[in-house]
Structure 1
């Protein structure tokens, strides 16, 4: 027994923490400092490089021949020098894109860069070169992996373990990783939910390996811009139509766009004009920096592993226009990220009289574009109710209202045959209201709604969570 206690103490000392201990590493004040530091980095280089580079595609064949991959002239120091010429402060490399080809020395699959004619660890060369040049190191990682068949309606426990194992390699073998950009997860086009692959499990796994590593999920195609849903940084892929509001954003944010026509290199790039650098700096980088948003500009290395001359020239011109990164001392008030599973998603719901077809299940259908709307003839005391299949523990409720339909709410929960008032105040972020409170047990939740001027209540989504604290 004494030996067992000694082993447990040693494990804790080495940081081999339980989920509860891992959660203690994500302290709100520390996270806010990391978010502030990220915003103040201002401008960095996104680098899409991988199997698509050799196929004239942005998504490569998931079973493309390993023989295709060969860039004997690859020089990550050239990439870093180019980034510095544009007054960038960091680089972010695609370690694995959606077709599932890792460009690091991984033990998780034989389908990787080390088994190609190139045979070099690109992640290591990138990390070493950028650090040598005084630049921060960030990595991109895709959850969607069509080579390993990590795709909708096909997720297994072994897939989840593979993801954890690959992230462990990336966050263990390459030094400090400032931020991790996650893609191909809960987006309309990827359709792998945060329940299929539990977001909080992956999130806290990342934090257990590197507590200071920020998680940036590219999910703005689905989740509203007023709160940090499943991301430490609100992230916008401009090329996919995800545009930040420069006038209204109050969250730490990142926006990305390619300098060239696409994310990965194409044979046409050397002879095709890149984007206008003055427009990039004056309409994107600087205004976004002024809106708490870090801008990530993608530059794609060619099949030789080098950046094309027209891209290098453009980066130097950018450096003449962009001279100074932001110097925020604090960010606006905002709530900590929501990272737990939504236990209200698609459970039985009920409500007061609805408006035509906008019935109750539209408010918990996991779609922020649909809504339950109260009927105008019954707008004096509308209510909305969720019923679970059994008594559950929960400590957070998030209400996303219609954009022009603000309301106040009193919340009740049903336990052991009685209704109890939930004495918790909402933190308002635009049209989103976040209630956080000590955990309670209940089988139902009811929102009693009071709208302004007897207007109709509009609920785009009601989420219920049992967060790790």
Structure 2
């Protein structure tokens, strides 16, 4: 089916109409407000609802989408019965079907038998019942061939245009939960669809909308990489540490055994409400984490009776703490392109096969490891090997497999001179970060190389990833 590409005018529609962005609140305040909500309803409802697989046929006809008794108010009241504070609806899943009145593609709900804007009905119903509104959106889009090997500038324009519609036409959106980005199964990198560009586009329309990448659990749990909220999908084997987490987080799980509705759902037991409260909701909340429980509406557009009963029981047995814990200091999210990724690297003698190339390969399960005999290890990334060509940057991250480096210095090569970089961090003002995720922001400098000089360690030094970034907007 042909995609209707939009003009630049549509991408910037809110500005052309004279809409003014809301006053931007400090990000830590928004993150605290998010975890203060404690509990929400994930709503997987899209064209896969009408098929047997969670990943729908990308060429499935819009005529399949035909919920004959769609009632978003029922969803909202069910959420309230469980004492939930918000909802998050799948506006577009991986097969690209849009359940709002989009002008970007004919592959949408207005060309289905329903011919009603589901996003509109959902946002209206949840707000009418005192619930906050969040939206899920998939970057991966198999219908429109937004997948590895096919991505074009027009795809990026489509993403921007669709997000513009969602953030312009449906009132305040507390958060966008984005899926299909930088995941091993999607293989769409933060460079293919540029993360910082999309992130800033979202914030330009709704500055208080949190941007949450559902796949950011790939990155170490000690820092926020490419997300405002750390997300953990339990079904994908991503589990938050209830004992050590210090970041604003979300953990999601379906109440059934799949995300989208299946014909077996009405008769198969849902997850035990008491267990969900005891093992998820209560301990997550105490670890700066909200719990997002998926409840999938059926093909009529209603939540099944067994799920309704379970939600009501959750509301009856859950006794939330009087207050949520206050987040400790932590570094701001890293959203920019990693200039060091896959660049040439040098280092002192390595341990066995773990040579310098493993220290900037964008794989956190590998690492450069220093040979135990080296007393003063060094790791270096070459940003440019052309004479006179230097790169601007103002952020460096060092991610260790385990926190063993206790003393280190950062330097950059400017011309023929190595110059020091200040050793401070937001989470630990005035000193280097002692944890395994070391984040350093500083005034912009220009150089051709960056190196880490390691002075002390409790075990042979190792670096899983060295990152170098040029952050804009600060």
Match of 1:8 in 2: none
Match of 2:5 in 1: none
Contact 1:40 1:326 (8 Å CA) reproduced: no
Distance 2:90 2:62 in 1: 18
Give runs of aligned pairs for residues 309-348 of structure 1, distance below 5 A: 309-324=305-320, 327-328=323-324, 330-348=326-344
Measured after TM superposition, the shift of residue 326 of structure 1 is 6.1
Distance 2:377 2:144 in 1: 48
- Asked if 1:97 is matched to 2:93, the reply is yes
Aligned residues: 449
Distance 1:402 1:260 in 2: 35
Deviations 1:31-82 (A, max 9, x none): 1010001000000100000000000211100110111110020000000000
Distance 1:12 1:32 in 2: 31
Match of 1:460 in 2: 464
- Asked if 1:81 is matched to 2:77, the reply is yes
Measured after TM superposition, the shift of residue 14 of structure 1 is 5.1
Deviations 1:79-129 (A, max 9, x none): 000000001011110000011111000000001011011111000000000
SS at match of 2:215: coil
SS at match of 1:341: coil
Match of 2:410 in 1: 411
More helix by share: 1
TM-score (norm 2): 0.92
What is the root-mean-square deviation in Å for CA atoms of aligned residues? Answer: 1.8
Q: Which moved more, 1:286-295 or 1:314-323?
A: 314-323
Measured after TM superposition, the shift of residue 406 of structure 1 is 2.9
Instruction: Call closer, same or farther: CA 1:370–1:47 in 2, change over 3 Å.
Output: same
Match of 1:230 in 2: 226
Give runs of aligned pairs for residues 430-449 of structure 1, distance below 5 A: 430-449=435-454
Q: Which moved more, 1:244-253 or 1:409-418?
A: 409-418
Measured after TM superposition, the shift of residue 154 of structure 1 is 1.9
- Asked if 1:385 is matched to 2:380, the reply is yes
Give runs of aligned pairs for residues 37-436 of structure 1, distance below 5 A: 37-324=33-320, 327-328=323-324, 330-378=326-374, 380-389=375-384, 390-426=389-425, 427=428, 428=433, 430-436=435-441
TM-score (norm 1): 0.93
Instruction: Call closer, same or farther: CA 1:326–1:48 in 2, change over 3 Å.
Output: farther
Contact 1:87 1:323 (8 Å CA) reproduced: no
Match of 1:3 in 2: none
Instruction: Call closer, same or farther: CA 1:136–1:319 in 2, change over 3 Å.
Output: same
Match of 2:6 in 1: none
Match of 2:30 in 1: 34
Contact 1:399 1:461 (8 Å CA) reproduced: yes
Measured after TM superposition, the shift of residue 141 of structure 1 is 0.3
Contact 1:230 1:339 (8 Å CA) reproduced: yes
Distance 1:350 1:433 in 2: 20
SS at match of 1:129: helix
Contact 2:403 2:435 (8 Å CA) reproduced: no
Instruction: Call closer, same or farther: CA 1:144–1:371 in 2, change over 3 Å.
Output: same
Distance 1:348 1:207 in 2: 34
SS at match of 1:271: coil
Distance 1:221 1:329 in 2: 22
Contact 1:395 1:437 (8 Å CA) reproduced: yes
Instruction: Call closer, same or farther: CA 1:74–1:467 in 2, change over 3 Å.
Output: same
Deviations 1:250-294 (A, max 9, x none): 000000000011000001101101011111000001100000000
Contact 2:406 2:434 (8 Å CA) reproduced: no
SS at match of 2:156: helix
Distance 1:292 1:344 in 2: 32
Contact 1:70 1:304 (8 Å CA) reproduced: yes
Measured after TM superposition, the shift of residue 419 of structure 1 is 1.1
SS at match of 1:376: coil
Unpaired runs of at least 5, structure 1? 1-10
Q: Which moved more, 1:182-191 or 1:200-209?
A: 182-191
Distance 1:218 1:326 in 2: 29
Distance 2:327 2:151 in 1: 38
SS at match of 2:464: strand
Instruction: Call closer, same or farther: CA 1:238–1:330 in 2, change over 3 Å.
Output: same
